[in-house]
């Protein structure tokens, strides 16, 4: 039993020299852009409450886009909007 443990330990040490070194972390950055604002404030109840808990509350939405840079790669993430029809019919 002790000999098996010694063999495994020696084998593991031999393979440790073949380990791939860790890569340097890529730079990641995030930028937010205003990608649109509706003309008038939107009634909150039609979009965000099925119990109409917000009364007559209206707020001005801002639709955001995000530019994510990871190393030499870029991703543009547009959150989109669909204010033409209520979510709850």
- Please write the tens of the pLDDT for every residue from 11-32: 556 555 565 566 666 789 999 9
Tell me the torsion sign for CA atoms 36, 40, 46, 51: positive
User: Does residue 4 form part of some domain?
Assistant: no
Domain total in the chain: 1
Structural domain of residue 65, as residue ranges? 26-80
User: Does residue 40 form part of some domain?
Assistant: yes
Q: What is the pLDDT of residue 29?
A: 94
Buried b (16+ CB within 10 A) or exposed e, 45-60: beeeeeeeeeeeeeee
pTM of the model: 0.48
User: Does residue 57 form part of some domain?
Assistant: yes
- Please write the tens of the pLDDT for every residue from 59-82: 888 888 999 999 899 999 887 766
Mean pLDDT of 26-43: 85
């Amino acid at each position: 039993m002790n000999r098996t443990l010694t063999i495994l330990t020696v084998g593991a040490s031999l393979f440790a020299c073949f380990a791939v070194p860790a890569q340097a972390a890529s730079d990641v950055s995030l930028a937010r852009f205003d990608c649109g604002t509706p003309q008038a404030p939107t009634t909150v109840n039609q979009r965000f409450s099925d119990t109409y808990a917000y009364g007559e509350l209206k707020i001005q939405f801002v639709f955001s886009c995000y530019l994510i840079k990871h190393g030499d790669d870029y991703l543009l993430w547009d959150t989109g909007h669909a204010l033409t029809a209520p979510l709850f019919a």
